[in-house]
Amino acid sequence: MSATFLRSIFDPKELPSDGVPEIALIGRSNVGKSSLINALTEKKELAKTSSTPGKTQSLNYFEIDKRYYLVDMPGYGFAKSSKTARGQWAGLIDQYFADRQVLRGVGILLDARHIGLDNDNLIMEWLSGLDYPWFIVLTKVDKVKQQDISAHERHLKKEFERAEVVFKTSSKDGKGIASLRAYLKNQIALPEFATSE
């Protein structure tokens, strides 16, 4: 997988309009979005990571295999974020998802240690109401017992039927990364899906 950083976008008006297909990664602050991009691309410092939540504040575009973009989104649910910051996050995200024809999939990342958080559930309900294909990526499975992961997976599949797949990943030990990579490649090759508008 070749990968280069393209650019950071703070204003929806600056979104690429080159028709290149893309996959967006969304999730709470600190869930491991940037780390996942580094694991997928096998580049340790492509996306900036931090143990302090709130590291990514813009939509960060990465060009993959000269074929598609991976979009690293700013995290939500960061306790210390101000009301203004939360408003900015919602504005950027809302406008991004309003009409993004090139979007071939949305991955929501869930920390395998903390399943069932209110803000994650809200986002998944909201995603279920949109037309984009979406999937779940459990992160940090290296920190959780296999039986707990299986229970989470069963619960999520039952609760969120619109989610196409549940991936179980660890950016630390590489678990599940290859199958996610293969899925993304396949997703990008799909023709543009019809939106209901």
Dump the DSSP string for 52-103.
SS----SEEEEEETTTEEEEEPPPB--TT--HHHHHHHHHHHHHHHHS-TTE
Q: Which of residues 8-47 bind ligand GTP (CB under 6 A)?
A: 27, 29-35
For residue 19, the 8-state DSSP code is -
Scored b (16 or more CB within 10 A) or e, 58-86 reads: ebbbbbbeeebbbbbbbbbbbeebeeeee
* Closest alpha carbon to 73 in 99, 87, 98, 55: 55
Q: How far is the CB of 131 from ligand GTP (least distance, A)?
A: 25
CA 118/CA 126 separation, integer angstroms: 12
Q: How far is the CB of 147 from ligand GTP (least distance, A)?
A: 18
Judged by beta carbon distances under 5 to 8 A according to partner kind, the member of ligand GTP, Mg ion, none in contact with residue 140 is ligand GTP
Smaller CB separation from Mg ion, 28 or 55: 55
How many amino acids of this chain bind ligand GTP (CB under 6 A)? 24
81 contacts ligand GTP (rule: CB under 6 A): no
Q: How far is the CB of 36 from ligand GTP (least distance, A)?
A: 7
Smaller CB separation from ligand GTP, 21 or 74: 74
Position among 30, 41, 56, 169 found at the interface with Mg ion (CB under 5 A): 56
| Contacts to Mg ion by CB under 5 A | 33-34, 55-56
